[in-house]
Amino acid sequence: MATQHYRFQARNERGELVAGVLQAESVAEAAQALRARGDHVVQLVPMAAAGEDFKAVLKKLNYTSGPSQKDILDFTTQLAVMIRAGISIRAALEGISEQVQNQKFRRILMQIKSDVESGKQFSEAIARHPKLFGPLYVNMVKASEMSGSFAKMLDRIAAYLQQEIETRKMVVGASIYPGIIAAMAISTTVFLLTFVLPRFAGVFKGKEEALPAPTKFLMGLSSFMVEWWWLILAVSVAGVIGFLAFIRTELGGSWWDRFKISAPLLQRMFRALYISRSLQTMGELLNAGVPMLDTIAITGDVSGNRHYKRLWRSVYGAVKQGKKVQSQLQRSPLLPRSVVQMISAGEESGKLGEVLDEISVFYAKALKDAIKAVTSMIEPIMIVVMGSVVGFIAMAIILPIFKMSSLVSGG
C-alpha cells in the first residue's frame, strides 16, 4: 500500500495543541504513530483525499464568491495553531491554502505565501489585500513581528474577529423578527385592499353617499391600488433604490448615521455597538504596542459611524498637538461621562489599554441587553400596529353592512 500524507492536530503530554504533517499507509497507522509518541489525536485528515474531494465540490458548484469574515477567522485560528507548533509561516500558508474551500481565498493565500518567500514580512504581504485584512489586522501583526509574539497576537486577532462576527449576528438577528412581522403586516393589508374589499364593491354600489367616511376612504384606496398597482410597485422599488443610493452619499450617510444614534427606540443599541467596537479596537491596538496616533486613526476607521469617526479624528488632532485623549472626548455627547472618566483614569495610571478592554467588555454586555430590549419592545408595537390596520379595514367593511341592515329592518 502506498504511503499517504496526513495533516494532524493533537494534544501532547503537556496538554498543548500541536499540528503538522506525517506519512503513513493508512489513517489507523497514522493515529497509532501519534499515540505512540504520547499525543492525543484531535484531527487527522488525508491531504490528497481532502484536496480531491474539495476540487470535485468546487467543480460542481463553480464556487467563485469571495471569502467571508468567518473564512478570515478560521485562517487566523489555524495559522496561530501551526505557528505555535513550530511550523514556518511559508509551510503553514501552504498547508492552510490546500484545505481552504474558497477558490479566491486560496489564490490570495498563495499570493501571500509567494510574497513571504520573496522576503516580505507577513504584515506587508497581507497589507496588499486590504479588503480582507483591515488596518487593525495588519497593524497588530506588524507590532507582533517587532515584539516576537506572533502566535499570541494571532490569538488576540482571532478573538477580536470572533467578537465582531457574534456582534453582527446579534444585530442582524434583532432585525429579522420585526422584519418578518412588518412583511406580514404589509402583505395582509395589500391582500385585504386588493382582494377582499373589491368583493364588497358590488354590495355597496349605488349607496356610496350612505357609506361611512372610513369605508369611502378604503374603497377609493382599494380602487387605486387595483388599477394602478404597477405604478405603486414601480414607485416603491424606485423609493427603495433611491433611499439606498442616498445613504451612500456623504450627506445621506451622515443623516442615516445620526438617525441610528438618536432614534428613541434604536439609539441605545447603536450607541452601545459603536462604543464597544471603538473601545475594543483601541484597546487591542494599544495592548499590541501600536503607536497611539495610528491606534486612534484606525479606531475611527472601524467605528462604523461617521459621527464617531469624526470624534476620533478630532481626538487624533488633539493628541497630535500633545493633548490627552480625554481632553477631546469630554466635549462630545457621543460618549457617556463615566466612560470618559475611566479613560482619563487609564491615561493617568498608564494602563489605558487594560481600562479600554474592561469598558469594551462592559459595553459588549450592554449591547446584548440593548438588543433584547429593542426586540422585546418592537414585537408588541408591530403587533399593535398590525392589529390596528387589520381592525380598521374590518371595521370599514362591517360598519356599512350593519348600517344598511338597520335601515332595512327599520324600513
Does 1.10.10.10 match the CATH number of domain 167-411? no
Task: Please report where in the chains the cell 466635549 appears, as a residue.
Answer: 331
The amino acid sitting at 330 is: Q
The continuous run of DSSP H or E covering 392 comes out as: helix 352-410
Does 3.10.20 match the CATH number of domain 1-47? yes
Average pLDDT taken over every residue of the chain: 82
**Average pLDDT of the residues in 122-138:** 88
Split at pLDDT 50, 70, 90, the class of 307 is very high
**Average pLDDT of the residues in 178-198:** 82
* Beta strands 4-11; 40-46: pairing state: antiparallel
pTM of the model: 0.70
pLDDT computed for residue 403 by the predictor: 67
pLDDT surpasses 50 at 51:
no
The amino acid sitting at 322 is: G
pLDDT surpasses 70 at 300:
yes
pLDDT computed for residue 255 by the predictor: 94
φ, ψ of residue 203 to 5 degrees: the values are -65, -40
Q: 302 with 277: CB under 8 angstroms? A: yes
pLDDT surpasses 70 at 71:
yes
Check if 1-47 and 167-411 are the same fold: no
pLDDT computed for residue 59 by the predictor: 45
**Average pLDDT of the residues in 134-141:** 87
Task: Please report where in the chains the cell 499570541 appears, as a residue.
Answer: 152
pLDDT surpasses 80 at 18:
no
Dist. CA 210–CA 222, nearest whole Å: 18
Sign of the CA dihedral 177, 183, 185, 187?
negative
Least confident interval from 21-35, 259-273, 297-311: 21-35
Dist. CA 133–CA 298, nearest whole Å: 13
Q: 122 with 137: CB under 8 angstroms? A: no
Domain residues of the chain, as ranges? 1-47, 167-411
Indicate the SS3 state at residue 12. coil
Q: 111 with 122: CB under 8 angstroms? A: no
pLDDT surpasses 90 at 15:
no
Indicate the SS3 state at residue 5. strand
pLDDT computed for residue 172 by the predictor: 81
Task: Please report where in the chains the cell 506525517 appears, as a residue.
Answer: 22
pLDDT computed for residue 134 by the predictor: 86
Phi/psi region, residue 15 (left: phi>0; alpha: psi -120 to 50; beta: rest), is left
Taking alpha carbons only, the member of 109, 111, 84, 81 closest to residue 97 is 109
